[in-house]
A and B are shown apart, each in its own frame.
Chain A
C-alpha cells in the first residue's frame, strides 16, 4: 500500500466514524452544551431509562421489528427459491418488479400510498399497519441475501436427494432450507435492523398510540441537540454493531466465506 492509498483509507473511515464517535463521547458529558466539557457523567443514561415515552416507543419498535422481519424473511426466502430454483414461470418479471421495487422506491412514496390504501379500505392504523409496511419493503432485501447464497449452493446435493427418491417438498425441507439457514438468518437480521431504523414509512402508516423509536427520536431531534438522545444513540449503535459483527463472524465461520 502506498502512502496515498493508506491516507485515503484512513480519511474515509475517519469521515464515516467521526460523527458517531462525537455522539458517544458527548453522551458521557456532564454539561448539556456540545462545546463545553463538564466532566464524565452517566446522568443522561439515567435520564434515558426514566423517560417513559421513549422506553414505550422502544418496545413498540421492537415488536414491530420482530413481527415484520419474520414476515419479510418468510416472503423473501420464498421469492428467492422461486427465482433461483424454479427459473422460468409466467409472471416472473412481475414478481421481480414487485420484490425489488420497494427497495428502490422512495420511502415517502411507499408510505403515502400504503396510507391512502389503509384509509381507503378503512383499516385502523397502529402496530399492524406499520408491520405490513415494513414487511413489504424488507422482503426484497431478504430475497437478495438468500438468492446470493442459493446461487452459490452446490446443486448436486439437491439432485442427489431427488435421485434417491425424495419429492420436491422433501428436498426443500431436508436439504435446501438447512443449507440456507445462515443466509436466512442474515436476511432476517437485515430486515430487523431496517425495520428498527425506519422513520418515514412508520410516520405515514402509524396511528394513535403506535409511536416507534425513530418517530419519537425524530420529534425530539427536530428541537435540537439533546444529550439524552446522544445516550440513546450510543446504546443503539453499540447494540447494532455488536449484532452485525457477531453475525458476520458467525456466517464467516459456518460457511468459510468472507463476511
Chain B
C-alpha cells in the first residue's frame, strides 16, 4: 500500500501545473485589468496613468494607489451609450433566453420521446452544429436574411410579401442569430433531465385520466425545471458578452457590452474605459454564475 505521504506528494504534483498556469494567465491578467480600469487614459506608452514604479518602494506604491480612481466607472454609469449597451446586453440575452426556453422545450421533449435506438443519432445531430464554426454559422444567416437574400426570395415567390423585408442589421436578425447559435446549449441539458424522468409518473397521470397536454404541463414540465434552469444559465451568461452576433447581424444601433468593449479598445484606443467595461461585464455575469453554479455544473457534466 502507498503511504499517505506519497499520495499527498502525487496529489500536489497533479494540481500544481494547472494552478500555476491559470494563476498566471487568468487570475493575474484580470487583476491587471481591474487596476487599469481604475486608471486614466494618457497619450503615452502604455496609454494609461498611473504606471506602477517597481523601483519606487513604499512611496511608489502609495502615490500609485492615490492616483487610482473610479472616473471610468462614473463615466459608464452616467453616459447614455454605456447605459444603453448595458440594458441592451441584458435585454437581448434575456429575451433570447425566453425564446430559447420556448423553442428548446418541445425539441428536448421530442428527443426524449423518440424511439430509444434513434436517440443517440438524434442527440449527435443536435451536437454537430455546436462543433461547426460559430463564425460560419452566423455568416450563413447573412445570405438568408439580407434584402436580396434567400428568405425574401422565397417569401416573394410565394406571394406572401409584396416588397422585400428589411431583416438583416435589425434587432430581429440579432435575435435569430442568438437563438440559432445557442439552441444546442438549451436542448442538451433539458434533454438530459427529461430522458431520466420515470415514465411511470406520466403513465400514472394518464391512467388517472389526464390528457397528454395536461400530463405535459402538470408532470413533465415541472419535473424538467432543473434542466430549464441549467439551459437558461448556459445560454444567458455567454450571450451577455456576445460580440460576433451583434456585430455581423445587428445594425449600428444594436448596442451590447461585448461590442462596445471591442470598439472602445480597437477604434477609440481608450484602454482604461475598455477595461472598465470588462469589469462591468464580469459583475453582470458573476451573479448568474454563482446562482446557477450547481445546475450549470450538472448541465455541463452530461453533454
B219 interfacial by beta-carbon distance below 8 Å: no
Contacts of A99 in B (CB 8 A): 18, 22
Nearest A residue to B127 via CB reads: A244
Q: Are A236 and B133 in contact (CB under 8 A)?
A: yes
Q: Using known A-B contacts A197-B135, A244-B127, determine if residue A19 contacts B144 with beta carbons closer than 8 Å.
A: yes
Query: Could you write out 27 A-B pairs with CB less than 8 Å apart?
Result: A1-B114, A4-B106, A9-B114, A9-B122, A12-B126, A18-B144, A23-B143, A33-B148, A35-B148, A79-B15, A82-B14, A99-B22, A100-B297, A106-B258, A107-B243, A113-B278, A114-B25, A116-B33, A117-B25, A136-B21, A193-B131, A221-B135, A222-B248, A233-B133, A236-B133, A244-B124, A258-B119
A168 interfacial by beta-carbon distance below 8 Å: yes
Q: Are B136 and A225 in contact (CB under 8 A)?
A: no
Q: Are B137 and A20 in contact (CB under 8 A)?
A: yes
**A-side binding surface: helix, strand, loop or mixed?**
helix
Q: Using known A-B contacts A199-B244, A244-B127, determine if residue A139 contacts B22 with beta carbons closer than 8 Å.
A: yes
CA distance in complex: A197, B11 (Å): 34
Stretch at the interface among B63-71, B200-208, B224-232, B233-241: B233-241
Stretch at the interface among A38-46, A48-56, A70-78: A70-78
CA distance in complex: A244, B29 (Å): 33
For A196-218 the 0/1 string (1 means CB < 8 A from B) is 11011000100000000010011
CA distance in complex: A105, B238 (Å): 7
Shortest CB-to-CB span from B118 to chain A, Å, is 9
Shortest CB-to-CB span from B170 to chain A, Å, is 17
Q: Using known A-B contacts A13-B125, A95-B18, A108-B258, determine if residue A258 contacts B120 with beta carbons closer than 8 Å.
A: yes
Q: Are B14 and A81 in contact (CB under 8 A)?
A: yes
Shortest CB-to-CB span from B247 to chain A, Å, is 8
Shortest CB-to-CB span from B54 to chain A, Å, is 12
Q: Are B23 and A98 in contact (CB under 8 A)?
A: yes
Shortest CB-to-CB span from B17 to chain A, Å, is 6
CA distance in complex: A217, B134 (Å): 12
Nearest B residue to A165 via CB reads: B1
Q: Using known A-B contacts A104-B237, A147-B301, determine if residue A116 contacts B36 with beta carbons closer than 8 Å.
A: yes
What's the tally of chain B residues with a CB closer than 8 Å to chain A?
A: 94
A28 interfacial by beta-carbon distance below 8 Å: no
Shortest CB-to-CB span from A21 to chain B, Å, is 9
Contact of B150 among A15, A35, A110, A167 (CB under 8 A): A35
B103 interfacial by beta-carbon distance below 8 Å: yes
A252 interfacial by beta-carbon distance below 8 Å: yes
Nearest A residue to B278 via CB reads: A109
CA distance in complex: A124, B223 (Å): 53
CA distance in complex: A228, B280 (Å): 39
Shortest CB-to-CB span from A74 to chain B, Å, is 7
CA distance in complex: A16, B122 (Å): 12
Shortest CB-to-CB span from A159 to chain B, Å, is 10
Q: Are B107 and A9 in contact (CB under 8 A)?
A: yes
